[in-house]
Structure 1
Amino acid sequence: MNKKRASLRWRLTRQFSFIFAAVVATVIIGLCIYGAMTLSPNVAMARTIGPIMAEAVAQDAHGRLEITETPRLMALKQKNPNLWYVVATTDGTYRTYGGVPVSYVQLVPLVHLFREADIRGSADTAEIASIYTAQTTAGEVRILFGGGSGEYWPFLTILLATNPIYVPLLALALPAIFFAVPRIVRSALAGVSEVARKASEIEPRRHGARLPTEGIPSEVAPLVVAFNGVLDRLEHEFQKRQRFLIDAAHELRTPIAIMQTRIEGMSGGQDRRRLLDDVARLGETAEQLLDFERNDQASDLHETVDLVDIARTVVADLAPLAIAEGYEISFESEVDKFERLGSPSALPRAVSNLVRNAIDHGENAGMISVSVSESGQVVVADQGHGIPHDQQELVFEPFYRVTPRSKGAGLGLSLVKQIVTNHRGQVTIESNSTGTRVTIQI
């Protein structure tokens, strides 16, 4: 099964998102660990005792400070048997609970002066005390406390306290990464996209085509350079093969001509006629090979040609041959002239090959019609038995013949397609039991 190709953009986006989240998590965890090691251990308990005191502190009917034993406060005291605290209003009134260490007793009247404090380092006690501010129904109070059980986790407290920092950071940064990275990658790979487009335009018979190396990332450049090297080697081998076929076809001309001359000098008879047909077929094959290879090197593709005149001339030249083979042949055009840029040597060969193909495969009967439409389509149609549907595209392959014993070497329609392709056109075929219709559009 073919696996779907993974997108580089989304792969990088996911990786960048993971890395960014991992970095943020590492920084937050590191800061929390550092905070837990440097801040007071009471920082965790402060977040617990503050809300409890906020609901426990009140004023009596005479406006005096009092602390109600709420269920939460009682649970806090049970959980922390050594807990002590001092709750002071901003005017200096205070209430105490538990055994305040001697080192901190003198601070009790002064608690209302501090909003927050971390008190440690006394020579008389190792216990750390903290001052925390809470809002209550009695107003703002300052709480000096200590003696916690140590079951609270400062790390988790700091982590929860810093979530207003890292949660919005992740919430904003991750979508930004998913938005920005694909565009950054697309911009960075714009040169690669251009290379891919150029690669799709490379055709086997267009020599000298290479992929550009400008504007592509240095990581991709070796691949492009290597691909260009492959094209160099393939083109070199292709040119060697092309030179061989052209030279071979040229060399065949002389012995074919000698054979034809000697056969023509023989006495008449059926064998002489067969030999002449075979030599003619051999000569035509050699010429088609030359045409097939020469067409690769066509350089006259930008001259003005008249398709109507080309089609009319081909019909006039081949009419005697078609009539001698038992056909009727006709020509008609919807326009008097239809000019295009093309090769004045290759296009007549393409139309001529279509007509010759109709003569060879039209069953020596019926009408061969050649027409030019007002849109510039050149159509050659015959009334033969047609081509099987599964072979209609194969007839454009070199050396392919619908019937092995048919005339020709199977290069005619292949040469037509090659010429039309060189002119950036299309050739199509429609065939059924009543005939075959081939259309070329330049």
Structure 2
Amino acid sequence: MRQRRTRSLQWVLVRRLILLQAAMLAIFIALCAAALWISNPHWLVDNEAAVAALKNAVERNDEGGLVVRETAELRQFRERFPHLWYIIRDGKGQSLRAGAVPDVYTKTPGDLLDGVDRATLEFAKDDSRPEAYVENVATKAGLVQVITSTRSSRGETDGLEINISATIDVAHNPDGSRNWERALPALALIIAMLLLPIIVVMGITTLVTTPAVVRRSFAGLVDTAEQAARIDINTRGLQLPVQRVPQEIAPLVRAFNQTLARLAHGYDQHNRFLTDAAHELRTPIAILRTRAELLTKEPQSERLLQDIERLSHLAQQLLDHQMLERPADERQIVDLVELGRRVAADFAPLAIEAGYDLAFEPAPQEKVHVRGNGSQIERALANLLRDAIDHGGGAGTITVAVDKNGGMEVRDEGPGIPPAERENVFQPFYRLQPQSRGAGLGLNLARRIAELHGGSVRILSGASAGAWVRMELPTLPS
């Protein structure tokens, strides 16, 4: 079954933001359209507002002539637009004008203008003559035509002037009602043409900016994840930072930190228990060895001493494993030749007693220097030698060799290790023969010490029978 890929939060946010923006835009336009439909507003620009102000001020005097009364509305309008001018005409040919009327508007209007209900009169963009507004309005003086403008020249415009005009005419039925069956498809097309570019621009903007924003917002989370990936048994006390983690993820990081703290506490308790147990075992083992050495030299007493030695070695290996849990900060320059000679000399009596000859082969040069913890390297080599004594068959020669490349080899002439088992024997408590004397910790301990020093331990195929174990550490330049 194919494993389902995890969802990308970044692209989920991008898709949802695009859909949300499109939906919000559509809802906003729909609400605006509904509000306009219900309120049915009538917006007035300046010139149209002038007509509205004049509409209630036009009257006739006692002789029937046209007059404009100075109403409060008209007075306020004049204060706002001091350049107001207008021409008022009725159907009888009477006219009334006020303000600085441009010459172009003083000419006699044609028949077309007489039949227009309302219109905006404009000139070319580079023409300084102002536009005017024409509308037939019902006043106290009857139906009159008003031609007006709030300025006599385009030079009177202050700053920037923006004119926006829109005309929407819906198809009508013969009876004058609106024909929505014909108008709605065209209206939908117009709305789509207006909305589609906006949605596309918003979508592209979201697609480009959101990933960058998400990556920047989650940068702290990425750093925290990288730190979490580096946590191992030696850094179990590390706590992940939550300062740069998004607020929604912070509880998960805090819970993870609490879990790490509990695990570290439990692991430390376990280690202390093993260390204490190994220390406590050494005292009764020493007492047993002392008492066994006082027994009469018999085969049973010899085997008892060997078993006691196994227990002592196992307790020491447990202590060595616990020693690796402590940081090896205090490193110094170690001479492998001198260290190998010393360990070989220490183990010579034990090897000879077990039936072996012990040989030491130093490097051609007098010294081979590495930087590390001398006691740990010594314990690693001691474990390799002890394994050779325990599993070398009880005869032949055990050789300890040091070469210029930082290699320390322990060779025996016993049954050897089959190639298929050469990695398995490095597992803790793994033994080729269940009834063997060893505990299965020596090779594992040696490899862990070598890895702490940037080196390695491996089993080689030697020129003769027997096991050939090589520990190699990085050397210092001579």
> Please, what TM-score do these two structures have when normalized by structure 2?
0.63
User: What letter matches 1:349 in structure 2?
Assistant: R
> Residues 200 and 145 (structure 1 numbering): CA distance in 2 closer, same or farther, change over 3 Å?
closer
Shift of 1:179: 2.9
> Residues 376 and 163 (structure 1 numbering): CA distance in 2 closer, same or farther, change over 3 Å?
farther
Q: Which moved more, 1:266-275 or 1:248-257?
A: 248-257
Greater length-normalized contact order (CA 8 Å, ≥ 6 residues apart): 1
1:11 & 1:144 partners in 2: Cα distance?
Answer: 42
Describe how 1:259-408 pairs up with structure 2 within 5 A: 259-319=288-348, 321-322=350-351, 325-326=355-356, 329-333=359-363, 337-364=367-394, 368=398, 370-371=400-401, 376-382=406-412, 384-388=414-418, 391-408=421-438
Q: Deviation per CA, 1:312-353: give whole Å up to 9, x if none.
A: 433444355445543564535476544443212111111221
Shift of 1:233: 1.8
Aligned to 2:173: 147
- Report if aligned partners of 2:459, 2:467 keep a CA contact under 8 Å in 1: no
> Residues 383 and 37 (structure 1 numbering): CA distance in 2 closer, same or farther, change over 3 Å?
farther
User: What letter matches 2:434 in structure 1?
Assistant: P
Shift of 1:281: 0.6
> Residues 199 and 303 (structure 1 numbering): CA distance in 2 closer, same or farther, change over 3 Å?
farther
1:204 & 1:32 partners in 2: Cα distance?
Answer: 66
Shift of 1:299: 4.0
Q: Deviation per CA, 1:129-168: give whole Å up to 9, x if none.
A: xxxxxxxxxxxxxx99743672436454334224454323
> Residues 166 and 369 (structure 1 numbering): CA distance in 2 closer, same or farther, change over 3 Å?
farther
Q: Deviation per CA, 1:14-66: give whole Å up to 9, x if none.
A: 222332233233334445555666789xxxxxxxxxxxxxxxxxxxxxxxxxx
- Report if aligned partners of 2:170, 2:183 keep a CA contact under 8 Å in 1: no
User: Is 1:21 the equivalent of 2:47?
Assistant: no
- Report if aligned partners of 1:401, 1:410 keep a CA contact under 8 Å in 2: yes
2:209 & 2:416 partners in 1: Cα distance?
Answer: 59
- Report if aligned partners of 1:369, 1:380 keep a CA contact under 8 Å in 2: yes
Aligned to 1:256: 285
User: What letter matches 1:420 in structure 2?
Assistant: A
Q: What SS class does the counterpart of residue 176 from structure 1 fall into?
A: helix
User: What letter matches 2:326 in structure 1?
Assistant: Q
> Residues 292 and 14 (structure 1 numbering): CA distance in 2 closer, same or farther, change over 3 Å?
same
Q: Which moved more, 1:203-212 or 1:380-389?
A: 380-389
Answer with 1 or 2: which has the greater Rg: 2
> Residues 374 and 173 (structure 1 numbering): CA distance in 2 closer, same or farther, change over 3 Å?
farther
User: Is 1:185 the equivalent of 2:214?
Assistant: yes
Alignment length, in residue pairs? 358
- Report if aligned partners of 1:284, 1:408 keep a CA contact under 8 Å in 2: no
> Residues 26 and 92 (structure 1 numbering): CA distance in 2 closer, same or farther, change over 3 Å?
farther
2:29 & 2:458 partners in 1: Cα distance?
Answer: 68
User: What letter matches 2:304 in structure 1?
Assistant: L
> Residues 205 and 144 (structure 1 numbering): CA distance in 2 closer, same or farther, change over 3 Å?
closer
> Residues 374 and 154 (structure 1 numbering): CA distance in 2 closer, same or farther, change over 3 Å?
farther
Q: Deviation per CA, 1:250-281: give whole Å up to 9, x if none.
A: 22222212211222111112111111111111
Shift of 1:12: 2.2
User: What letter matches 2:321 in structure 1?
Assistant: F
1:416 to 440, 446, 456: 446
- Report if aligned partners of 1:368, 1:380 keep a CA contact under 8 Å in 2: yes
> Residues 247 and 160 (structure 1 numbering): CA distance in 2 closer, same or farther, change over 3 Å?
same
User: Is 1:3 the equivalent of 2:9?
Assistant: no
Aligned to 1:140: none
> Residues 150 and 191 (structure 1 numbering): CA distance in 2 closer, same or farther, change over 3 Å?
same
1:144 & 1:206 partners in 2: Cα distance?
Answer: 76
2:414 & 2:24 partners in 1: Cα distance?
Answer: 77
Q: CA RMSD in A?
A: 4.0
Aligned to 2:223: 194
Shift of 1:285: 0.8
Shift of 1:92: 8.9
- Report if aligned partners of 1:36, 1:158 keep a CA contact under 8 Å in 2: no
- Report if aligned partners of 1:32, 1:159 keep a CA contact under 8 Å in 2: no
- Report if aligned partners of 1:13, 1:182 keep a CA contact under 8 Å in 2: yes
2:249 to 193, 214, 220: 220
User: What letter matches 1:190 in structure 2?
Assistant: A
- Report if aligned partners of 2:172, 2:179 keep a CA contact under 8 Å in 1: no
1:282 & 1:245 partners in 2: Cα distance?
Answer: 15
Shift of 1:282: 0.9
1:406 & 1:31 partners in 2: Cα distance?
Answer: 90
- Report if aligned partners of 2:460, 2:469 keep a CA contact under 8 Å in 1: yes
Identity %, equivalent residues = 36
2:208 & 2:241 partners in 1: Cα distance?
Answer: 30
Q: What SS class does the counterpart of residue 152 from structure 1 fall into?
A: helix
2:283 & 2:205 partners in 1: Cα distance?
Answer: 76
> Residues 385 and 144 (structure 1 numbering): CA distance in 2 closer, same or farther, change over 3 Å?
closer
Aligned to 1:174: 203
- Report if aligned partners of 1:354, 1:438 keep a CA contact under 8 Å in 2: no
